Amino acid sequence: MKGVISPDPFMTSRIITSTNDKEQTTALDYSGDFRSEALLASTRFCQDAGIGSAPRDLTELGTSLCLPATDDPDAEMRVVRRGVATVFVVMVALLVCGLGMFIAAKVGPWVTPMGSFRIPIWAGAIPGLAGWVMMCSSVNLEHRIARRRIAARGADKAPFPVSESPIMFRIEDPETFKVVKLVIEDVAIGWCDSSRRVMQLEGFAYRYVIWANDILSLNRLGDRFVEVTFYVGGSDQFLALAVAMNGVGIELKKQLSFGVAKRAVEAPLSRVFGLPVPWPAV
């Protein structure tokens, strides 16, 4: 039995007590993930505190943490990847069809044994426009797929009284946030309580709780992301997450270059944590 975190029948996370040797196995299990050291520090915190089952409300534990949401986060990633891949294939097919019809309309008329005919421009515009709309809404489709996975373990409801409506966040590795990926590292529902300056993120693969007093820094990344760096497990180990908000409206503003979508995530982060972005100020 590995020293990992696995789900119990109530869809919370159970910490399996392990020896020091098996704790090393935990690190190896997540060695390919940028969160691996934070996962190990969080697991050790729970073990040292004698916590047998991480509660739905992670704020009860009183410190910032990063914990696996399921027995096998990679399996969750594969499920989400299949759904997103299907959306991607349909989107590309529509765009290619639209482009092909548009070219055929420009090259025509076409002569056949039954006579000549011309393909109207709108015949290419319709699938092309449908593909573009699907591209803009693909983020919401990704969120819907991820939220369905989160709901399957009963984690799609607020675990504590919140100060604002739930927010869908995309979470990426700050080192690779510019890389185009079929599926990003995590999509999470954010539950915020500005009165306690805490945020709990329920992702399809991992669970996070971030307290303002554990935050080491808030830095801007590119046009849309904020890097949140925070200590985990009451230790000197820290975790950096590239966080952004996404939705159809934000994606449309991005595609149409209105510029309004830049770092929409700054406002909720500042409200919840009571800290400006960037922080500390440079």
Beta-sheet pairing, 215-221 with 225-231: antiparallel
> Is a pLDDT exceeding 60 seen at residue 17?
no
Tell me the CB-side half-sphere exposure of residue 29, using CA atoms within 13 A: 21
Whole-model pTM? 0.75
198 in Cβ contact with 259 (< 8 Å): no
pLDDT band of residue 136 (cuts 50, 70, 90) is low
Q: What's the pLDDT score for residue 139?
A: 66
> Is a pLDDT exceeding 60 seen at residue 192?
yes
84 in Cβ contact with 142 (< 8 Å): yes
Average pLDDT, integer, range 104-111: 71
pLDDT band of residue 182 (cuts 50, 70, 90) is low
Average pLDDT, integer, range 118-129: 72
Average pLDDT over the chain, rounded to an integer = 79
> Is a pLDDT exceeding 60 seen at residue 255?
no
